[in-house]
Amino acid sequence: MERIVLAYAGEPETSIAVPWLAERYGAEIITVTMDLGQGKEVLEEIRDRALATGALRAHVVDVRDEFARGYIVRALKAGFLGGADSPPGAVLGRPLVAQKLVTIAHIEQATAVAHGDADGDAGLLAITVRSLDPMLKVLAPAGEWRTTSGQRAESASQHHIAVPPSAQGGFDGRPGPAGSPTDLPEEPASIDIAFERGVPIVINGVVMPLLDLFGSLDIIAGAHGVGRLAALHAAHQALQHSTLEQEAGAFSPQVADQYRRILRDGSWFEPMRLALDAYVDKIQERVTGVVRLKLFRGGCTVLDCKGSTASSPTFIALTKAD
């Protein structure tokens, strides 16, 4: 019997895809859900739903640290994390999803993988999967259905597939800043973020593991209507501007453009990206120091920026400087 591995997030598209793929291809369906910090209860709910819709097995893969270090921090250092032309988190995470799909497909001895992207066979996920394993078939049910989100929700209801709001959300498992401007504090707040070699390591004088640092930013910046990625990008850009030579700083936008192209082309795992990584890592050796941000009603501005020549976290005392 054919076996298909489906990237499963619990939304109507992939929930409907489980019985649809099983019936159409006479196949066993294995689902894979990425743990990006959605929470234990949400992940258990998604896993139970996959099994209830007919999946033979439902894998939940913890990729929180890998996504944070290999993708968010990589994008931060390369300068394409923030700004209007920056890729959404879902696009940034596509190579990681594709890689895990291929890995689980090999473990399960599957002949095909599937996903819920409406872009279908020409989508970024499909292209990246084929770059990793050209022998795997890539199926995209949502690309064949040509239905609206309302029709898919109705179909889910007809198949008795419940999809609660908790299954939805951004790729990093975190919603955007909550509340309207009238709900935000009346007084601004400041936050100090320290970087070493382009990587954030300290908030307000406290050294933190990366995932804890992201969580703290979600709480502190989010309370003022500022997303963690926006805060990190603003701080990093200010520090980079003050620590890099003019020529290196001028070349950085071109490097960011190349990363965006690689994401669009589905060639994240090709040698070109590794070469870009090597350049960025070398340049970022100088991007060490502390940036103070002002957070107020959804806005994020730089109050102070102190570069450092230190190569270890000993410079963190600067974070408490007035």
Q: What angle do CA 89, 11, 70 make, to 5 degrees?
A: 25
How far is residue 273's CA from residue 253's CA, in Å, rounded to a whole number?
15
Reading the block at residue 318, the tokens are: 């600067």
How far is residue 33's CA from residue 110's CA, in Å, rounded to a whole number?
16
pLDDT digits (tens, 9 = 90+) for 41-63: 999 999 999 999 999 999 999 99
Residue 292: closest CA among 281, 280, 301: 301
User: How confident is the model at residue 175, as a pLDDT?
Assistant: 38
User: How confident is the model at residue 208, as a pLDDT?
Assistant: 95
User: How confident is the model at residue 197, as a pLDDT?
Assistant: 95
- Model-level pTM? 0.84
- Rounded to whole angstroms, what are the CA distances from 196 to 132, 293, 314? 33, 17, 10
Which residue numbers in the chain have pLDDT < 70? 83-85, 120-122, 146-182, 309-322
User: How confident is the model at residue 179, as a pLDDT?
Assistant: 44
User: How confident is the model at residue 309, as a pLDDT?
Assistant: 62
Domains annotated on the chain, with CATH = 3-167 (3.40.50.620), 181-244+287-320 (3.90.1260.10)
Cβ contacts of 10 within 8 Å, gap of 6 or more: 33, 45, 46, 49, 50, 163, 167
